Structure 1
Amino acid sequence: MIRTLRDARDILVPDPGGRHGPLPPLLLVLTVVTGLVDAFSYLALGRVFVANMTGNVVFLAFSLAGSTGFSVTASLLSLVSFAVGALGGGLLAHRVTRHRARLLLGATALQTLLVLAAYALGAVSDLPATGGTRMTLIALLGLAMGGQNAIVRRLAVPDLTTTVLTLTITGVAADSRPAGGSGSRAGRRLLSAAAMFLGALAGAALVGHGRAAYALLISVALLVAVAAALLPHRRSGLAWTA
Structure 2
Amino acid sequence: MITTLRDAWRTAVPDMSDRHGPLPPVMLLLTVVTGLVDAYSYLVLGRVFVANMTGNVVFAGFAIAGAQGFSLAATGVALAAFAAGALVGGRIIRRARSHRARVLFRSLAAQILLIAGAYLVAELSGSPGEAGTRYPLLILLGLGMGVQNAAARSLAVPDLTTTVLTLTITGTAADSHLAGGPGSKAGRRLLSAAAMLLGGLIGALVIVHGHQALPLGIAALLLAAACGTAWRLTRSSAPWTQPL
TM bin (shorter chain)? over 0.9
For residues 189 and 96 of structure 2, the distance between their equivalents in structure 1, rounded to whole angstroms, comes to: 31
- In structure 2, what is the Cα distance between the partners aligned to 1:91 and 1:119? 25
CA distance in 2, matches of 1:227, 1:169: 28
State the distance in 2 between where 1:14 and 1:30 align: 16
* 1:96-119 deviations in Å (ceiling 9; x for gaps): 433110110110011001000000
Distance 1:63 1:224 in 2: 36
Q: Which letter does structure 2 place at the counterpart of 1:160?
A: L
- TM-score, structure 2 normalization: 0.97
Sequence identity (%): 59
Question: What amino acid is the match of 2:182?
Answer: S
The corresponding residue for 2:98 is 98
Aligned to 1:13: 13
Residue aligned with 1:3, SS? helix
Structure 2 unaligned residues grouped into runs of 5+: none
- Residue 184 (1) aligns with residue 190 (2): no
Between 73-82 and 222-231, report the one with greater CA deviation: 222-231
- Is 1:233 the counterpart of 2:238 in the alignment? no
Q: Deviations over 1:125-145 (max 9, x none)?
A: 234521120000000000000
Whether 1:210 aligns to 2:216 is no
CA contact (8 A) 1:51 1:142 kept: yes
Q: Which residue of 2 aligns with 1:77?
A: 77
| 2:167 counterpart of 1:167 | yes
**Aligned twin of 1:117:** 117
Find the aligned partners of 1:4 and 1:207 in 2 and give their Cα distance.
33
How far the C-alpha of 1:230 sits from its partner, in A, is 1.5
2:70 is matched by which residue type in structure 1?
F
Residue segments in structure 1 that go unaligned for 5+ positions in a row: none
Measure the CA separation in 2 of the matches of 1:77 and 1:55.
14
Deviation track 1:7-26 (CA, whole Å, cap 9, x = no partner) reads 00100111112111110000
- Matched positions, count: 242
What does the per-residue CA deviation read over 1:217-238, in whole Å, with 9 as the maximum and x for residues that have no partner? 0001100110111122112111
What's the TM-score once normalised by structure 1's chain length? Answer: 0.98
Conserved in 2, the CA contact under 8 Å of 1:44 and 1:127?
no
Name the CA shift for 1:185/1:24 in 2 (closer, same or farther; >3 Å): same
Whole-Å separation in 1 of the counterparts to 2:233 and 2:157: 17
Alpha-carbon distance between aligned partners in 2 of 1:209 and 1:175, rounded to the nearest angstrom: 40
- Cα deviation for residue 199 of structure 1 reads 0.2
Moved over 2 A (4+): 94-98
Query: For residues 232 and 96 of structure 1, what CA distance do their matches in structure 2 show?
Result: 15
| Aligned pairs (5 A) from 1:18-37 | 18-37=18-37
Aligned equivalents of 2:121, 2:146: Cα separation in 1: 20
Q: Distance in 2 between matches of 1:4 and 1:138?
A: 38
Q: Is the 8 A contact 1:43 1:128 kept in 2?
A: no
Contact 2:122 2:128 (8 Å CA) reproduced: no
Q: Which residue type is aligned with residue 196 of structure 2? A: M
Alignment partners' CA distance in 1, 2:151 and 2:126: 33
Give 2:132's aligned amino acid. G
Quick one: distance in 2 between partners of 1:147 and 1:186? 27
2:98 and 2:90 map into 1 onto residues whose CA distance is 11
Which stretch of structure 1 is more off in the superposition, 225-234 or 105-114?
225-234
1:65 aligned to 2:65? yes
Matches of 1:9 and 1:127 in 2, distance apart? 42
- Per-residue Cα deviation, 1:49-84 (whole angstroms, up to 9, x for no partner): 000000100111111111111111100000000000
Structure 2 residue matching 1:91: 3-state secondary structure:
helix
